[in-house]
């Protein structure tokens, strides 16, 4: 690594930053007031740069404020009744134009170096396509070492239950909605340590290998951000952005991130969770995932309407309720409760088709959910909340439509 005078100064100043030391010792402990030191080499350089710049601006600030304070004390009318009359000084004015310029160049040099490093996505061993959806992340493993067709993909959603985050204190107005209505006045459930950060299916990557993320979106702009990996990259519909991370061996563990670009109602509810494991563990995990993916979809029919309803209720809660309401009352999406679409038999095929392929703002769930889950959730939507259409959709029906 290049070691400029500036870099050494940065390291020296960094060690002075107590907060930096406190968090560096324990990755699990989260800073509440300063930038996380980062786990990848480049994230640590970004952190060093942050500390350097923070020191520079703090010193400039203190100098300026010090001068103002001295002036306010010494040059007040009671102490200094006759004002001076100077109102220009070419030497001073040139000086305070040139000195900031030099300081800027001193900051621009290391910044440029780190930026070039961050931009270099070449020679990665694992490529993962990251897709932002409203409001969950999709991960698709594209290539790993010599394998150019990994074919493993899954969806990752918030795992914090609504009982923890819906704590309505008012009984009317805009909030509470859906099932939160029943919780008005009840004491809120204790929040987990990883509240608003935990997900059902975390991203898994190996340590010691460069991972390239291809970031895109299915709907609006999201931003893929894991602070410990050193920065964020926007997920833009129709375009693919690149970023990368190389977590050193010995730093295995769980890292968290959040969506960092306003993407609609549940922007705050689509965290990122990354499990960094050793290469051996990763290969085992990947092999297992490939096996699951290769297996033919489970098309065993549901034995009864109730059996399908039971599965469907869970699928609905984690995939549909955000838009269609926890009780099918609608919201961003159309309502189901008492709606012809979810009751009349002529809409049955259309219902399956829309869930699979999407329509307007409604995302396509083909590939996100198994035929069995889709069948269950459609059955649920057509029978819950008094819809009672009696329709039992079987996985085979969904598979045919696919």
Partner 1 sequence: MSTVAAAHDDHDHHHAPTGLKRWLFSTNHKDIGTLYLWFSFAMFLAGGFMAMIIRAELIEPGMQFVDPEFFNQMTTVHGLTMVFGAVMPGFVGLANWLIPLMIGAPDMALPRMNNWSFWILPFAFTILLSSVLLSAFGHGNPSAPNFGWTFYAPLSTKYGPASTDLFILSVHMMGISSIMGAINVIVTVFNLRAPGMTLMKMPLFVWTWLITAFLLIAVMPVLAGAVTMMLTDRHFGTSFFDAAGGGDPVLFQHVFWFFGHPEVYIMILPAFGIVSAIIPTFARKQLFGYASMVYATASIALLSFVVWAHHMFTVGMPLAGTLFFMYMTMLISVPTGVKVFNWVATMWRGSMTFELPMKWAITFVILFTCGGLSGLMLAITPVDFQYHDTYFVVAHFHYVLVSGAVFTMFAAAYYWLPKWSGMMPNKVLGELHFWNSLISVNLLFFPMHFVGLAGMPRRYADYALQFADYNFWISIGGFWFGLSQLFFLAVCLQCALKKGEKAEAKPWDGAEGLEWEVPSPAPFHTFDTPPVVK
User: Rule CB under 8 A: which of 235-254 touch partner 1?
Assistant: 236-239, 241-242
The full DSSP string for 352-364 is HHHHHH-BTTBPP
| Nearest by Cα to 285 from 139, 132, 133, 121 | 139
Interface with partner 1 (CB under 8 A), residue total: 107
Binding test (CB under 8 A) with partner 1, winner from 13, 24, 31, 281: 31
Q: Which is nearer to partner 1, 169 or 295 (CB)?
A: 169
Do the beta carbons of residue 381 and residue 328 sit within 8 Å? yes
* Footprint of partner 1 on 215-234 (CB under 8 A): 219-221, 223, 225, 227, 230-234
With 0-12 CB in 10 A as exposed, 13-18 as middle and 19+ as buried, what is 18? Answer: exposed
The yes or no reply on residue 35 touching partner 1 (CB under 8 A) is yes
Distance (Å, whole) CA 262 – CA 335: 25
* Footprint of partner 1 on 56-85 (CB under 8 A): 57-58, 60-61, 64-65, 67-68, 71-72, 75-77, 80-85
Do the beta carbons of residue 356 and residue 366 sit within 8 Å? yes
Do the beta carbons of residue 156 and residue 203 sit within 8 Å? yes
Binding test (CB under 8 A) with partner 1, winner from 3, 18, 28, 33: 33
Binding test (CB under 8 A) with partner 1, winner from 88, 149, 280, 303: 88
The yes or no reply on residue 194 touching partner 1 (CB under 8 A) is yes
* DSSP element (H, E) containing 217: strand 211-217
Considering only the stretches 175-183, 295-303, 306-314, 368-376, report the one whose residues sit in contact with partner 1 under the rule CB under 8 A: 175-183
Taking only Cα atoms into account, the Rg of the chain, rounded to an integer number of angstroms, comes to: 28
Binding test (CB under 8 A) with partner 1, winner from 4, 8, 22, 101: 101
Q: Indicate the length of the chain as a whole number.
A: 402
The yes or no reply on residue 161 touching partner 1 (CB under 8 A) is no
Neighbour count for residue 207 (Cβ, 10 Å) = 20
Q: Which is nearer to partner 1, 208 or 330 (CB)?
A: 330
Shortest CB 76 distance to partner 1, Å: 5
The yes or no reply on residue 345 touching partner 1 (CB under 8 A) is no
Q: In sequence order, what are the residues at sequence separation of 6 or more whose Cβ sits closer than 8 angstroms to the Cβ of residue 340? A: 347
The yes or no reply on residue 314 touching partner 1 (CB under 8 A) is no
- Dihedral Cα 328, 330, 336, 337, nearest 10 deg: 60
Q: Which is nearer to partner 1, 2 or 82 (CB)?
A: 82
């Amino acid at each position: 690594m290049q070691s400029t005078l500036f870099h050494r100064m940065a390291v020296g100043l960094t060690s002075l930053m107590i907060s930096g030391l406190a968090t560096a010792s324990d990755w699990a402990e989260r800073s509440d007031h300063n930038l996380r030191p980062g786990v990848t080499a480049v994230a640590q350089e970004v952190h060093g740069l942050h500390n350097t710049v923070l020191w520079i601006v703090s010193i400039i600030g203190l100098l300026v404020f010090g001068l103002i304070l001295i002036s306010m004390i010494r040059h007040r009318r009671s102490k200094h009744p006759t004002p001076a009359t100077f109102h220009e000084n070419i030497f001073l004015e040139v000086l305070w134009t040139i000195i900031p310029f030099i300081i800027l160049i001193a900051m621009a040099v290391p910044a440029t170096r780190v930026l070039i490093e961050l931009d270099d996505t070449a020679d990665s061993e694992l490529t993962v396509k990251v897709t932002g959806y409203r409001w969950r992340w999709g991960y698709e493993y594209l290539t790993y070492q010599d394998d150019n067709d990994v074919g493993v993909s899954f969806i990752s959603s918030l795992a914090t239950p609504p009982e923890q985050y819906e704590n309505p204190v008012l009984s009317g107005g805009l909030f509470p909605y859906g099932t939160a209505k029943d919780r008005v006045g009840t004491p809120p459930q204790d929040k987990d340590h990883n509240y608003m950060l935990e997900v059902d299916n975390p991203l898994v990557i190996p340590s010691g290998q460069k991972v390239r993320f291809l970031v895109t979106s299915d709907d609006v702009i999201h931003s893929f951000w894991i602070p410990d990996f050193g920065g964020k990259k926007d997920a833009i519909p129709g375009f693919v952005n690149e970023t990368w991370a190389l977590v050193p061996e010995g730093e295995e563990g769980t890292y968290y991130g959040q969506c960092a670009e306003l993407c609609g109602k549940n922007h705050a509810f689509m965290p990122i969770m990354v499990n960094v494991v050793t290469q051996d563990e990763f290969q085992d995990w990947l092999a297992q995932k490939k096996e699951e993916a290769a297996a033919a979809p489970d098309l065993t029919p549901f034995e009864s309407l109730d059996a399908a309803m039971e599965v469907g209720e869970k699928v609905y809660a984690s995939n549909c309720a955000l838009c269609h309401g926890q009780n099918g009352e609608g919201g961003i999406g159309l309502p189901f409760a008492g709606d012809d679409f979810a009751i009349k038999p002529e809409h049955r095929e259309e219902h399956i088709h829309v869930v699979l392929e999407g329509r307007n703002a409604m995302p396509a769930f083909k590939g996100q959910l198994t035929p069995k889950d889709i069948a269950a959730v459609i059955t649920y939507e057509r029978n819950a909340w008094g819809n009672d259409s009696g329709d039992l959709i079987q996985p085979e029906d969904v598979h045919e439509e696919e």
